[in-house]
A = this chain, B = another copy of it.
Amino acid sequence: MEFYEQILSLKEQFKTSDKFQLPGNFKNMVISGMGGSGIAGKIFQDLYNEKLLFVNESYDIPRWVDQYTLFIGISYSGNTEETLAALEAAIKAGAQTVSISSGGKISRMASTNVVVPGGLQPRSALGYLVSPLLNTFNIINSAGKERVYELLDELDKEHKFLDLVASEIVEDEKIPVLLTLPGFRSAGFRWKTQFNENAKILSFSLNFPELDHNDIMAFERSYLRERFYPIVIGDTTNSQMEKRISATSNLTGYKFKLLPVKGKNPVEKIMYAIHCADYVSYHASILRGLDPEDVSVIEKLKSELVK
């Protein structure tokens, strides 16, 4: 499948009905995953609030993992070194384990192994990776999926605002800085990483209200300040957050771009904001004359590490 078709396939992937059996007696959760696979756990963290959830991004696991922990390892390839090590440690600690992958070693390691369709880049398989979590925990139902499909389909057809953002960034060689509102950290992270991988542009994600306690001083007076391009992502209907955004913008002299996040509830809004990142980074890559699919440096690194 062409890379652009892979991106477009997100809305279809999102409709899959994969679920896994939940153990009855878990008290906390860890989701372990890196890069394009790890984002699934981060989205889930923005949407799930019932039990304690730790999102893990390394080889090691927290010492408190035990038989009351539901440990979910996500690796699209099924062979991510960090995630395999973490899942192995979780098994040793007696945790109840689930894997989500398209195959590979991890699909033979956990007690429950969810296997999704393969052949895509991990960052283009996000719908497959996140759906089992959203389905299992009833975060979305089939009517909700239909609405997400429609929202993303609309976006696939009409993305003038995102084209403008991409062209402003590339023409003026700007560094996108995502400023997320509460509940949208995963979306900010997706924007950053899609700019990294697709467009090969450095990009950073910061969070309101924390950024008002430190970054704001630098936004006002840093050198290179004219080269940063701040984009606010999130639900701006909270009046205290609206106040913050406008005061931060006024005090720093930046005109923030505000992403118009569509959707009726958090899951719709996050999926919309996430898919926007796919577009804008794809177009930025094309405008730079680069291949958005190319992640050869990451591949080279992986082969260096196993030497």
A255 in the interface, Cβ–Cβ < 8 Å? no
Residue contact A224 to B173, C-beta cutoff 8 Å: yes
Residue contact B224 to A200, C-beta cutoff 8 Å: no
Chain B proximity mask over A247-265: 1 for CB below 8 Å, otherwise 0: 1100110000000000000
Binds B, one of A13-21, A32-40, A112-120, A151-159: A32-40
What is the CA–CA distance of A304 and B195 in the complex, to the nearest angstrom? 33
In the complex with contacts A62-B52, A221-B290, A215-B202 CB distance below 8 A = yes
Residue contact B49 to A52, C-beta cutoff 8 Å: no
What is the CA–CA distance of A100 and B217 in the complex, to the nearest angstrom? 25
In the complex with contacts A64-B49, A251-B301, A300-B251, A200-B212 CB distance below 8 A = no
A63 partner residues in chain B, CB cutoff 8 A: 49-50
Residue contact A225 to B209, C-beta cutoff 8 Å: no
- The one of B64, B82, B204, B228 in contact with A52, judged by C-beta atoms closer than 8 angstroms, is B64
Binds B, one of A1-9, A53-61, A160-168, A266-274: A53-61
**Which bracket fits the contact residues of A?**
35 or more
Minimal beta-carbon separation of A251 from chain B (angstroms):
5
A143 partner residues in chain B, CB cutoff 8 A: none
A220 partner residues in chain B, CB cutoff 8 A: 200, 297
Residue contact A34 to B301, C-beta cutoff 8 Å: no
Minimal beta-carbon separation of A250 from chain B (angstroms):
8
Closest to A295 in B: B217
Residue contact B193 to A35, C-beta cutoff 8 Å: no
What is the CA–CA distance of A200 and B215 in the complex, to the nearest angstrom? 8
A221 partner residues in chain B, CB cutoff 8 A: 200, 290
A34 partner residues in chain B, CB cutoff 8 A: 209-210, 213
What is the CA–CA distance of A298 and B220 in the complex, to the nearest angstrom? 10
- The one of B52, B175, B210 in contact with A35, judged by C-beta atoms closer than 8 angstroms, is B210
A217 partner residues in chain B, CB cutoff 8 A: 196-197, 200, 295, 297-298
In the complex with contacts A227-B224, A248-B301, A57-B196 CB distance below 8 A = no
Chain B proximity mask over A222-248: 1 for CB below 8 Å, otherwise 0: 111101100000000000100110011
In the complex with contacts A52-B28, A201-B218, A59-B209 CB distance below 8 A = yes
A298 partner residues in chain B, CB cutoff 8 A: 212-214, 216-217
A213 partner residues in chain B, CB cutoff 8 A: 34-36, 38, 193, 298
- The one of B64, B173, B193 in contact with A50, judged by C-beta atoms closer than 8 angstroms, is B64
A37-84 with Cβ < 8 A to chain B: 38, 49-52, 54, 57-60, 62-64, 82
- The one of B199, B210, B305 in contact with A247, judged by C-beta atoms closer than 8 angstroms, is B305
A207 in the interface, Cβ–Cβ < 8 Å? yes
Q: A35-B214, A38-B213 are in contact. List 5 more A-B contacts (CB 8 A).
A: A49-B63, A52-B54, A204-B204, A217-B298, A221-B290
